[in-house]
Amino acid sequence: MELSAKIYVAGGRGLVGSAIIRKLRHNGCAHIIERSSKMLDLRDQAATLSFFRNEQPEYVFVAAAKVGGILANNTYPADFIYDNLIMETNMIHAAHETGVKKMLFLGSSCIYPKFAPQPIKEEYLLTGELEPTNEPYAIAKIAGIKLCQAYRKQYGDNFISVMPTNLYGINDNFDLEGAHVLPALIRRFHEAKQRGDSAVSVWGTGTPRREFLYVDDLAEACCFLMEHYDDSDIVNIGTGSDITIVELAHLLAKVTGYQGDIVFDPTKPDGTPVKRLDVSKINQLGWQAKTSLADGLATTYRWFCESKK
Ligand SMILES: NC(=O)C1=CN([C@@H]2O[C@H](COP(=O)(O)OP(=O)(O)OC[C@H]3O[C@@H](n4cnc5c(N)ncnc54)[C@H](OP(=O)(O)O)[C@@H]3O)[C@@H](O)[C@H]2O)C=CC1
Ligand SMILES: C[C@H]1O[C@H](OP(=O)(O)OP(=O)(O)OC[C@H]2O[C@@H](n3cnc4c(=O)[nH]c(N)nc43)[C@H](O)[C@@H]2O)[C@@H](O)[C@@H](O)C1=O
């Protein structure tokens, strides 16, 4: 990727897109294109194609998507399948039509079977039943992978797909109901501390295990693969280590300074019991995660407090 290349980061205001833009700017890339969803609704096929025709991006990071935590996925399955299928289809086809040199599509570790052997290798895709709470979203993401592979096979387009684990960091969505566990609990503990609450409720049994990757590490991995990977096979991106939700809740209580009780609510869904990625492929390609969970959580909580001022 030449420093003068035209690079479009779709979803540039989101958690992942904004981190990719920070990394590209840090690397010296001068010609980055971004559009908010208000300026360009990527569900609109004609508008998307016209944007690609006018701007002629050479490299594209597909970080625009309908994204949310377990409850949002379970409550709005139609939005999660429709928005994601249509946005990725529009972008991938427009990239093909306008001769984009290379495109990176972001999937998610939820594309793997609910009960996949651990750690999850890339080849376990489509070997078993999906987790019901996010099946529509996962099906859309699997379709995105297949679109990239099909356009590569039929037309030789250099489209690659990466599968990140659960992410967190600055610019995350801290909504109490719609967000992922880590930002939702940061906010819940922070507000409980401010109000002096004696207990905070955490969804589910607390036994599920999750692997958390700091978003700047993910952005670095995406830029690394954009430079060094040209194959149709998907690539996992993660740390290779996971913790239980009980352990996460205690860590976050400590980071936020919350000293009350932590109560688990088993009426809320647990989701996949465990989804730890096998990251040997990306490690062998020459990249590995750098940020410890302790450092990533401290940075994220500092940013959360600053952004509320
Ligand atoms: N967060 C996570 O834990 C994980 C995320 N991923 C993947 O990373 C990618 C980015 O996720 P993340 O950054 O967390 O999500 P965010 O919700 O933070 O950002 C999503 C972005 O998509 C844009 N977008 C949504 N709908 C539209 C639309 N109709 N038209 C144009 N743009 C739209 C939003 O634009 P705007 O802000 O302008 O509305 C926003 O910038 C997704 O593909 C997701 O599947 C994968 C694994 C884990
Ligand atoms: C990235 C990934 O994100 C989603 O899958 P998920 O990994 O299950 O993500 P989650 O962060 O929402 O939950 C993780 C665990 O944490 C528990 N939990 C406790 N308390 C809260 C809480 O307050 N909020 C949330 N959201 N979860 C909570 C929750 O019950 C679950 O056991 C999918 O959308 C999927 O499509 C996807 O791609």
Consult the annotation and say whether 158 binds a ligand: no
Instruction: From the candidates 8, 59, 112, 137, give the one annotated as an active-site residue.
Output: 137
CB neighbourhood size of 293 (10 A): 20
Phi and psi, residue 122, nearest 5°: -55, -35
Residue nearest to atom 32 of ligand 1 (CA): 37
Tens digits of residue pLDDT in 174-207: 999 999 999 999 999 999 999 999 999 999 999 9
C-alpha 47/C-alpha 227 separation (Å) is 29
Ligand 2 site, CB within 6 A: 68-71, 73, 108, 110, 134, 137, 166, 179-181, 184-185, 202-204, 208, 210, 245, 268-271
Average pLDDT, the chain: 97
**Ligand 1 centre and the CA of 259: distance in Å?**
33
C-alpha 225/C-alpha 215 separation (Å) is 15
What is the predicted ipTM?
0.98
**pLDDT band at residue 90 under the 50/70/90 scheme:** very high
- Give the dihedral sign, CA 98/101/107/112: positive
Phi and psi, residue 265, nearest 5°: -115, 90
What Cα–Cα distance (Å) separates residue 231 from each residue in 62, 97, 104, 178, 270? 17, 20, 11, 34, 35
Residue 112 has pLDDT above 80, yes or no: yes
Provide the β-strand partners of residue 261. Answer: 199
Give me the architecture of the 6-172+212-240+277-290 domain, per CATH: 3-Layer(aba) Sandwich (3.40)
**Ligand 1 centre and the CA of 262: distance in Å?**
30
**pLDDT band at residue 215 under the 50/70/90 scheme:** very high
State residue 309's pLDDT score: 74
Helix (H/G/I), strand (E/B), else coil: 156:
coil
Question: Residue 219: enclosing H or E segment and its boundaries?
Answer: helix 215-228
Place of tokens 């996992």: 236
The minimum-distance atom of ligand 2 relative to the CA of 271 is 8
| Encoded tokens for 290 | 């750098």
**Ligand 1 centre and the CA of 63: distance in Å?**
6
Tens digits of residue pLDDT in 271-281: 999 999 999 99
Tell if the pTM clears 0.90, that is, is over it. Answer: yes
Rounded to a whole number of angstroms, the distance between the first and last alpha carbons of the chain is 38
C-alpha 41/C-alpha 183 separation (Å) is 26
C-alpha 249/C-alpha 126 separation (Å) is 32
C-alpha 243/C-alpha 292 separation (Å) is 13
